[in-house]
Amino acid sequence: MRLKLGLVTIFGIAFGYLEAIVVVYLRRILPPLPWEVMSVAEFSNFLRSYGVLFSEQTREASTIVILLMVALLVGRKWVEKLAIFLWVFAIWDIFYYIWLKVLIGWPPSLATIDCLFLIPGPWFAPVYIPLLASLVMVSVAIFFLRKVKKG
């Protein structure tokens, strides 16, 4: 299991980089936006006006499908599959923010407001919220993986 978890971790780190690069490209293509003060509707309209809302929503859905498929392919029992999904999701999300910091120096702080997800509509919160959620997911994944190991 350690080898599988190590490989899944590498996948999550690489996938976090891929997702961060998408954001880097979007920030280069789209005009600067003061979305920290935009409402959810204004933000949705902004993305829609540049023709990226639907493509970003489907990209996010695809991301979840890819993470889920990794877990389904790697895990044997359902509890192991769930643990691996939580693990790889958390690693992906943590490294997404690490890569953004490395690539463009963003976010300036963990209290910076971010658009976390676009499905079904934009979710806004400080960056520390998804990072805390990821730490919880890692903890739950470890708990489940220990249960699987014990039998």
Residue 40's pLDDT is what?
A: 83
What does the pLDDT look like over 18-58, one tens digit per residue? 999 999 999 999 888 766 667 888 888 888 999 999 999 99
Residue 37's pLDDT is what?
A: 65
Task: Classify residue 25 as exposed, middle or buried by CB count within 10 Å of its CB (0-12, 13-18, 19+).
Answer: exposed
What does the pLDDT look like over 80-126, one tens digit per residue? 999 999 999 999 999 999 999 999 999 999 999 999 999 998 999 99
Distance CA 56, CA 19 (A): 11
Residue 150's pLDDT is what?
A: 84
Residue 36's pLDDT is what?
A: 62
pTM over 0.95: no
Angle at 46 between CA 122 and CA 94, to 5 degrees: 40
Q: Give the start-to-end residue ranges of the domains of the chain.
A: 2-150
* Structure-model confidence comparison of residues 103 and 151, the more confident one: 103
Residue 41's pLDDT is what?
A: 87
